[in-house]
Amino acid sequence: MDQAEVGSLPALWSLPVDNHRVEKTPAKPVEALGSESPRTRVRFPPPPPKEFILKIMNTFPKPKLVLSRCFFEAVRYDGGTIIDPFVEKLKKYIDFISVCPEVDIGLGTPRQRIIVVKEGEDKRLLQPETGKDITLLMENFSVNFLSNLEEVDGFLLKSKSPSCGVGTTKLYVGNNVVGRTYGFFAQAVKERLPHIPLEDEGRLRDSKIREHFLTRIYAFAELRHLKKNFSPKALVEFQSAYKYLLMTYNQKALKELGQMVAKVGKDPENTLKAYEEVFRRAFHKMPSPSKHANTLLHILGHLSRKLNSMEKRHLLSLIQKVKHGRTNHRLVMEILRSIAYRHGEDYLLRQRYFDPFPEELLED
């Protein structure tokens, strides 16, 4: 292979793979062979036309998130900024609104620390060094901020903070830590917007939580774009692209949404409202490995006529491993995607299940 060609599409396209037609070169006269062993020439199908690649290439909407301001500015109680590698990477992919509840209620920077304290069934937000109780101030700020907020696709807040932590904040009784809880602002988000993705950067170090969060913010961003450019036809296409992702997350919702879309022509606006509600709820819970295995089985079923029995058996055993948590679903998904590419299965290739978000966001 010409060195200059290495890595280019034509060069990669000519790499040998199974299942392509293999032809023996015409036998050379024995005296011409010398010590050379018989050579095999492999013929490869031509690359797919550019229009096909463009047709199945998924593009991504830009999610809009609320981010803790200390990821950008020196607003922490000690005057610091937080630099988190994932948040730094994510900033390039999103639009955002920043919030610092503590500065926005007038505490200033730097400031004395505040803590969440359990008092009977209630929680209070206290500043031990000054004796101030800022519970009401923070609750009012949170309600006001969320009431005036434009539509966003999620919240990414700072872990462990008494205002922003998402279940990672220390809970005190007196001077003792008795557990973990939500910061006051995060608690208000959870209560008022129960189906919005809400995470802190600490939890997103877990790759499963990160994948779930990214899937949701990108799905909701795409829904937001759909609402802006709504037509019954666009909703039908949207539902078609999300079929396998919805199957993974919530089969009941998939069915319900399918029934709504079938009748969209009768009352488009109300259908869209009802669709949005069910769609958001559908993504609430992280899918289990067996849900992924079920979706992969359906995709395999779609491709089964293109596969020989050994390939099917191998893929079935891999899917079993996914079901029992011994193999990551993404590995099998990528194999199925390759098969879909080879056979020009553009219906499958347009499925958001294969491309829920830019995959580099999952890499460390």
From the list 75, 319, 333, 361, which residue makes contact with ligand SF4 (rule: CB under 6 A)? 75
From the list 90, 100, 125, 315, which residue makes contact with ligand SF4 (rule: CB under 6 A)? 100
101 binds ligand SF4 (CB under 6 A): yes
From the list 63, 64, 69, 226, which residue makes contact with ligand SF4 (rule: CB under 6 A)? 69
Min separation Cβ 362 and ligand SF4, Å: 25
Nearer to ligand SF4, 102 or 345 (CB): 102
Residue closest to ligand SF4, measured at CB: 70
The stretch among 35-43, 69-77, 347-355, 356-364 that binds ligand SF4 (CB under 6 A) is 69-77
DSSP lists the bridge partners of residue 177 as 172
List the interface residues with ligand SF4, window 103-122 (CB under 6 A).
103
From the list 102, 153, 199, 201, which residue makes contact with ligand SF4 (rule: CB under 6 A)? 102
List the interface residues with ligand SF4, window 158-177 (CB under 6 A).
158, 161, 163-164
Nearer to ligand SF4, 184 or 354 (CB): 184
Min separation Cβ 201 and ligand SF4, Å: 10
The stretch among 65-73, 174-182, 279-287, 325-333 that binds ligand SF4 (CB under 6 A) is 65-73
Tokens representing 248?
A: 């993974």
Stretch 122-161: interaction string toward ligand SF4, x if CB under 6 A: ------------------------------------x--x
Please count the other Cβ atoms lying within 10 Å of the Cβ belonging to residue 227.
Answer: 15
250 binds ligand SF4 (CB under 6 A): no
- Across the beta sheet with 95-99, what order do the strands follow? 95-99, 64-68, 154-157, 198-200
Distance between CA atoms of residues 112 and 78, nearest Å:
8
Q: How many Cα atoms occupy the beta-carbon half-sphere of 144 within 13 Å?
A: 10
Nearer to ligand SF4, 82 or 303 (CB): 82
Distance between CA atoms of residues 83 and 91, nearest Å:
12
Nearer to ligand SF4, 76 or 123 (CB): 76
Query: 3-state DSSP call for residue 124?
Result: strand
323 binds ligand SF4 (CB under 6 A): no
Min separation Cβ 72 and ligand SF4, Å: 9
Min separation Cβ 184 and ligand SF4, Å: 9
Distance between CA atoms of residues 186 and 170, nearest Å:
14
Nearer to ligand SF4, 161 or 215 (CB): 161
Distance between start and end Cα atoms, the chain:
33
Residues 282, 249 contacting (CB under 8 angstroms):
yes
| Exposed / middle / buried, residue 315 (Cβ in 10 Å: 0-12, 13-18, 19+) | buried
Query: Hey, what amino acid is at 31?
Result: E
The stretch among 86-94, 98-106, 247-255, 281-289 that binds ligand SF4 (CB under 6 A) is 98-106
Nearer to ligand SF4, 100 or 361 (CB): 100
Distance between CA atoms of residues 71 and 258, nearest Å:
40
Q: Which residue is it, tokens 């939500």?
A: 182
DSSP structure string for 178-245: EEEE--HHHHHHHHHSTTS-EEETTGGGSHHHHHHHHHHHHHHHHHHHHHHT--HHHHHHHHHHTHHH
Interacting residue ranges for ligand SF4, rule: CB under 6 A: 68-70, 75-76, 100-103, 158, 161, 163-164
